[in-house]
């Protein structure tokens, strides 16, 4: 009996060792090996880089219009179908954080981290899996624009996913903290505004109609870039709820880039329509 029992426990021990060795290899094994103070510092440096990228992009867009949508041009590469380009470029921001969370981490077991990462993933589940199929006759996307968006989503997916899976820590009552509650409301409201504004834009033209129209209703009564305002509000709410350098960097980068795109739209509307509402701001209601 003792020999049989020993053999059984020995078999279990061997299986455990093999499982541990398997964990040392593959994708998850890689992420476990690189985890530590050095990667934590790298995430901080990447965050500052993301802020600088946003500011630099905003400056560049003052001289070179963003080549997408109605501004698409072949000067920035071959044109890709809008639906395909949008789905593929947004997908990394959905898959990368999910993959990092699946590999485990000291932080991801906490309820606050799971909720916050869930907010990020939910946004990109909509942007990658739902929004592209709602596009109606979207303008083709230049290849360079597609590649830049794809790289950004890979980079930011890693930044936010790794931070919340492995490094961001919160006190036990964080989900009841006023900062989390206020930030979560901002995130939810911003996402709702973004989705509603996109719905208005998609339905500006009736079947068979062509040309452009002035968007009306919702936050478009206050700003030209209502969809951009919604996304800016969403990510600043997310940053407040997360209280991390990585989330703040993303919010600021969003503000810089989408603010520039909204200004581009606003100027186009003013030049295109003589009756465009002169009291509309660019992207921040009553301010800018």
In Å, what is the CA distance from 27 to each residue of 33, 46, 158, 167? 10, 21, 14, 19
Q: Residue 265 in contact with residue 72, Cβ under 8 Å?
A: no
Cβ atoms within 10 Å of 135's Cβ, excluding its own = 15
Question: Which tens digits make up the pLDDT trace of 89-100?
Answer: 999 999 999 999
Structure tokens at 66: 């963003």
What's the rounded Cα separation, in Å, for the pair 285 and 140? Answer: 30
Residues (pLDDT < 70) of the chain are 1-25, 66-74, 76, 208
Using CA atoms, how far apart are residues 244 and 183, in angstroms rounded to an integer? 12
Give backbone dihedrals phi and psi of 226, rounded to 5 degrees, phi first: -65, -40
Distance from the first to the final alpha carbon of the chain: 81
pTM given for the model: 0.87
3-state helix, strand and coil shares in percent for the chain, rounded to the nearest 5: 70, 0, 25
For 156-213, the DSSP string reads HHHHHHHIIIII----TTGGGSHHHHHHHHHHHHHHHHHHHHHHHHHTSSPTT--S--
Q: How many Å apart are CA 33 and CA 18, to the nearest integer? A: 17
Residue-level pLDDT at 206 = 78
């Amino acid at each position: 009996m003792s020999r049989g029992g020993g053999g059984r426990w020995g078999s279990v021990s061997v299986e455990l060792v093999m499982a541990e060795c398997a964990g040392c290899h593959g994708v998850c094994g890689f992420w476990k090996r690189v985890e530590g103070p050095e990667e934590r510092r790298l995430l901080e440096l990447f965050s500052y880089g993301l802020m600088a990228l946003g500011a630099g992009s905003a400056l560049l867009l003052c001289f070179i219009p963003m080549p997408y949508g109605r501004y698409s041009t072949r000067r920035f590469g071959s044109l890709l179908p809008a639906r395909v380009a949008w789905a593929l470029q947004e997908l990394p921001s959905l898959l990368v954080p999910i993959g990092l969370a699946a590999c485990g981490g000291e932080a991801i077991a906490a309820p606050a981290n799971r909720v916050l990462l869930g907010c990020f993933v939910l946004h990109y589940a909509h942007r990658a899996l739902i929004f592209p199929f709602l596009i109606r006759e979207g303008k083709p996307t230049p290849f360079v624009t597609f590649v830049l968006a794809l790289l950004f989503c890979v980079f930011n997916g890693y930044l936010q996913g790794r931070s919340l899976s492995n490094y961001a820590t919160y006190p036990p009552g964080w989900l009841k903290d006023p900062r989390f509650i206020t930030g979560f409301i901002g995130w939810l409201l911003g996402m709702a505004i973004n989705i509603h504004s996109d719905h208005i834009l998609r339905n500006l033209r009736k079947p068979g109609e062509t040309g452009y129209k002035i968007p009306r209703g919702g936050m478009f009564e206050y700003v030209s870039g209502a969809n951009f305002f919604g996304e800016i509000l969403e990510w600043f709410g997310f940053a407040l709820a997360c209280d991390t350098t990585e989330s703040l960097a993303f919010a600021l980068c969003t503000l810089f880039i989408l603010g520039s795109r909204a200004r581009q739209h606003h100027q186009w509307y003013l030049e295109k329509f003589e009756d465009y509402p002169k009291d509309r701001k660019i992207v921040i209601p009553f301010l800018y």
